[in-house]
Each structure stands twice: as structure tokens, then as C-alpha cells.
Structure 1
Amino acid sequence: MKISIPYGKGYEQAELPAGVETEVIDLPQKTGGLNKRELIAQALANIDFEKIALSDSLAVVVSDVSRPVPNGEILEQLWSQLEKWGMTRERLTLFIACGLHQAPGQEEIKQIVGEYAAQNFKIVVHEAAERYLQYIGKTSRGTPVKIDAQFLQAEVKIAIGLVQPHQIAGFSGGAKSVAIGLGGKETITANHALLDHPACRAGNILNNPARQEIEEIGRMSGLNFLINVITDSFKQPVFINAGCLVESYTEAVEFAKQFYRAPVQGKKDLVIVSAGGYPKDLNLYQAQKALNAGVQILKPDGVVILVAKCEQGAGNRDFMDYLGRFSCPAELIKTFKHEPFCIGPHKAYLWAKKVAQNRVILVSALDSAVTGKLMVECARSLQEALAKAQDKLRPGGKVGIIPHASGILPELLIS
């Protein structure tokens, strides 16, 4: 059986031997219904453009390139309505919410906001340095909240975000675009430090302290409206809504819970996971999220193959430096738990938790200076990785293939 799985901007292909039992676990495909333009128009109909156009200033937040959202089309339609009500361009500022991630270059900015917006509006790329932040108080958990000062100055604030499973916050999007995307290092660190709380897991927002704090920070920052987007495996929108913080985000999450749910017929001897290709596998820092779905459906003695090109390398120096300190994952886990929580090393900790409990083979374009620190087996092709795991490919062996593992909520039907 020939298989093909997303890898960068293309696909990685391989041949599975005859006799194995294969199950593909993927997102449902978009079928019929409204096209992209109609979905956007329908969502924006819930926004009071007259009120926004009368404001002195408007801030619109979009996420970085790792979140594939049709920002360009949304911004064009949003501006078309605002202009009808008398909004002027100098009153509108776009903010790219990159949190502590690498700032985008000019070409990436065009990709994020679209050609029209890049040419016509002021764009601020968030920087988490103290001089760009404003302190606005503490959350009920005691987290100091520092947010992009220019954003806070706007009279009206809108966030456009992708709602999909998130390994700590339950789901991405919503107020997270501001609380994390426009937050300072101290704020982001305190929120991410909740990652080991049992309620902080993909697909769950019920009593999730990280998500609750994100919503609180959204209210503290004065965020007025959300535009929520859910996309299929082709990065095309299947759901868009807009409105106030609680109501619109709750509706989006309820849709997302069903859309991203993927039934699985029992645990597997071998699971092949991809982050979904570009931009989800731009770097290992982001792509490692795909392991979450894979290990959930893996037998105790199974093998998971992570297919992620990582053309931008590891994606975070602190992440790699921390990995480089240790020769085994158990040592890393023990040390991390006894040190002050730090962003960057926290992804090394999450990585180590997965590879300590599971045999992992990584297929990537990473150089040996990086792969030598990862504490996993590595291969240059999926076929080579399958050869390393050939003991799991005997007749009757159960193989799971998850082409878009970063956005899947697997549900075992047979334990």
C-alpha cells in the first residue's frame, strides 16, 4: 500500500508492506455549503460597523504564519464595511501577534495579512520586550499582565484567530491572540507554567486554568470583538463567526469539538503522524505538537513516526539549548520540574515526556547538529523510518496514519 503524508509544502511517500491493517485518521473534508467569501460576509454581519467606524482608533489582531487563516480576505471585507461607515485608514492598525515566536519578515507579513492590507494599513509586529509593553494589573491567579502598549491605546479592539486543539489552552484562538500573542514574557511564562495541570489538555476548556486566565486577560485588555475561524485539512475555512468574546468563542469551540473529533478503531502498533505540512511543520518547536495525537492511540510497545520537514530548523534557541544539556529524557524531565519555569525549555520538557514513554522516529530535514540532541531515532525519508520500525509491520500489524495530527482529537472506540 502506497501512502502519502504532508511534509513541508509537499508530501513524503512510502510503501507499506502487504498484510498490515491500516487506518487513516483525518479531519473531515469540506463539502459543499457556503464558499469562503460568503462565510466571511455572513460572520461579519454580526458586527456593529457603525459603532466601530465612529471610534477614534481600531486595532485588529492577527496571528503569525503558523496559523493558516484567510486574514487577507477577512481584512478586505472588514475594511470595505468600515469604509462605508466613514472609517479612515489612519485610524486602523494591524497587529501581528507572534508572542515569543520569531518575528515575521516582509514576505511573511504579506502572506499573513494579504497584499492589500500590507500595502494599505499600518502594521505592528509585536515585540515582547518591556519597552513595548504596558502593565494593566494582575489576574485572579496573581499573574502580572503586560500587553502591547500600542494595542491597549486603541478604542476598539478586534482579534482574528484560528480555533483548533491546543495542548495547554484546550483550543487556540479567542482572547489567546491578545493574552499570549501580544503579551509580555512574564505573562506568557506564568500562563504556560500551568501545562501540567490535568485540565490543561487539547480539546478541553472546562475548568482549564490556562484558558480561564486567557479569557480574563482578554477582558482586562479591553478586547471587544472576535472573528473565529476553523479550517479543514486543506486550510480552507469550514466555519467563521464573529461577535463578543464569550458567546462567539463558545459557539466556535462547540463546532471545533465535533469537527476535530476523530474516532479510532483501537490502539496501534505503529502510528505515522504529520503536523500537516507547511506552515505547521516550519520548525520542530511547533511541529512536535503532532506527537500528542499519535501517542494517545499507540500501544505501550509501539512506535510513532513524526514526519515534519522543519525547514526553519528547531525554531527556538532556548528549546535546543535545554535539550542539549541532557543525554536522556528522564534526566531532563526531573531537572525541569525542579527549576524555575521557562518558555522554550518547556517545549523541551513536553518533547522529553513523549520520547521517554514512546519509541519515536523523526523524519525531517534537520541537520545533525540538531537531531543529535533530540534523544530519538532519525531518518531522512519515511521509507527509511519504516525500515527502522519493520518489526511493527508484520502481517496483522495495526498502523495508524494521521496526516494532520496537530489539529486532531482522537477518540478511541476500542481500548
Structure 2
Amino acid sequence: MGPPKKAKAKASASGSAKKKAKKASSKNAEPMTVDGEQAGPSIPAVWRPGLDEVGEDEELQYDPSTYDCMHIMSLDWPCLSFDIVPDGLGGPRSAFPHTLTLVAGTQAANARQNSLALMKLSDLGQGKHGDKAPKEDDSDDDMSDSDDEEEGNPVMHLRQVALSCGVNRVRAMPQQPGVVASWGDNGQVSIWDMGLQLAEVTAAEDERAQRGRPQRQEPRHVHRHSGEGYALDWSRASPGRLASGDCRRGIHVWDANEKGNWSVSGRYQGHEDSVEDIQWSPVEGTVFASCSVDKTIRIWDTRGKAVPQLSVVAHATDVNVISWSAQSTFMGPVTSVEWCPAEATMLATSSADGQLAVWDLAVERDPEEEAALAAHMNAASPEDLPAQLLFVHLSQSEIKEAHWHPQIPGMIITTAAEGFTIFKPSNVP
């Protein structure tokens, strides 16, 4: 392991689309007058949620230069979970505009209005963000609005499978992206063949957004747990292998068979409360980890008995995701965590207080570099702000899930009650 990295440019820059994230904007900064004399423009400061107050004469603003791009979109109903569907466009890719594909599950007011949604989003340009000069109009970006006439309008092609229940979690099989597993709020885990829908949105080239009505379809396989649940993960080392966990402590392992469906194991026993998340080992097809409201993380091996091989008390309260950052001192309960696929020491965490934070655990503080950045109107970093905290995004409330795009370095996608946000911080490679 090499020496620690130095803090990167804009290392503590933070931004938001709806809840502005800086006390002053360099774009609108004006000279101050002190005792009748004109002083230079003030340096904007980082606003820390929960710690810093906003005065009556202060307005929080975000700096578009802290993002390389940002887009906001939504479906008819909120989505608690989504997954990024691998595509055939190659990677890593960095040239704008971008195209990406997602699968999501809805939580509608009426159970029969729910659906699994397969979306291709294309023409995702930079607009007013990044190195381009910001426009005078500082309003939020939107999927239906044009960021830049030369880059065209973002477009969404949508195909939906009708459901009769809400979706707690959804995951696409890494080796066969058209195969999708969903955890329903009716206590059932279902596997769906969405290969046709994936082919349709992949082939769609019409510049107009195509939504389509939800279509009825039977799942390939259904397994009922003893109660509702959220934990769900496909193995990357063993194609077709799935694990699901429920709120009544049950864990089941699914294995694809020669007949084209799945056989499901008996219950793996060990947790003393709700199983909140499951993650397969990326290199071992028989090993997975689980975390629970019982405060533990447990390691399992399917080659042995259906009991944990290792159990660790990981926290004083519920453990809702497999790993979480102990440095998230300004955050509420962590709702999602994911390591960056392109940077070994970088991860993204989301929390119930609406923050998405990007961390680089190899960064060390560099006062000289911070002073040089401050001279160029970059936000001044408070002494108690961890150097490892690269970026804070505040566009949504109650973020449920966040993922790095595996083929577009630095691109992050989040889902919350009001919809999705797709963005790329300018200081993340």
C-alpha cells in the first residue's frame, strides 16, 4: 500500500440541487464595505448540516462547479431500491453525454399500481456544471429541461412489469442483467425475466421519451419467506446464486438448476433479530455476510452447516448495511454504503438525514494546498472537517440507496421518495 494521498482539489466542496449548500457563491460575490472602505470578496464557507446555523440574512447556495454533471428525474411513484444494469457500451468511459440503464421497484399508494421499471437514460450532458461557465439561471436541473442546446435533452426510455405489491429491494443478476430479483412487501421474493424489456430499451434510439404502460408478466420463480424483508444479493462469483433475508431472522440461499428455475435452501439460522442486508463475497461463491438489528455482522459458508462461521458485534444499535463509515460524525442513520469500483480507498455513504458523502480513506490533510485553494474562492475547510470527506451532496431527503456506476468512473446514482439524482462530483476521478 502506497503513502497516503494528499487532499484533492475542492476536497471539502459540497453541493445540492434543492437545498443549497454554500453560504456564498463565487459567481455572485460582491466586494464588502468595512468602515467606508471596500474590501475584497468574502470566501465561501462549507455549511455542515446539524452543526452550522443559517442566519436570517444568509442564503445557502450551491456551486455548480463542484459537480461535473447533475440530473434529477422521477417515476410516477417513489422507489425504495434500484440497481444499475450493466450495458454493452464499455468502460471506463468519461466522455459526455452519458447513457446508463437502471432497474427499480416502486412503492405506490395502491399495491396494484406498483411495477418493476427498466429505464435507459441517454444524452446526460454537463449542462451548467463542471468546467463550463454557469448560466445565469441557477434553477435545478431536470430530465425534461435542456441543459445545453448543443448537447440535447436527456431522454428516458421506460418499460414496466406490473406488480401487485410494493418493492423493498431489487437486484439485477450481474452475469445476466435481464434476470431481476425483487423483494416484495408481501413477504415474497420473485425472480423475473426482463430480457425482452432490456432489449427494447437498449435498441430504442428515438429522441422522444418512451414510457409505455406496465405489462402483466408471470415471474420465473417465487419463494415465500415467513415475513417481509429487505436483504437481497446475487453472487458475482457463482452465476445464478441468490441470498435473501427477512425481518423474522430467516436467510435462504437460491441456486439455479438445469430446468431454468431455482431451488431454495432451508433457513440459515443464527441472527436474533431482523436481517437487514446481505452481501456475497466477490471472490468466493459459497461465502456471504449478513447484518442485523441484533447489532451483529455474521459470515456464512454454504459448504458447512446452516449456521454462521463467524459473528461480530459491530455496533451498539441496529446494523442496517454491511459496512459503514465510523467517520460519518455529521450524518444520521446510514442507509447505504458502497465502495467505489474504480478507487480502492473511496466509498460513498448515504444517510437518513438526506446526505450523500464521498470518502477517500487514503487522503491526508494538506494545509498549504487548502490555503492555495481558498485564495481561488474555494470553500474554506473547518479544522474539524475530516480530510477524508471529499464531497457532500444534499439534493434529496431520506436517501434510501446509492450506487456507483461500474462503467462511468465517478458517476453516482441515488434514489429517495422524490425520485432519482444522477451526478458526478468534480473532485472524484
Pair in the same fold by TM > 0.5? no
Q: Which has the higher strand share?
A: 2
TM-score by length of 1: 0.25
Larger relative contact order, structure 1 or 2 (CA cutoff 8 Å, min sep 6): 1
Higher-helix-fraction structure = 1
User: Larger Cα Rg: Structure 1 or Structure 2?
Assistant: 2
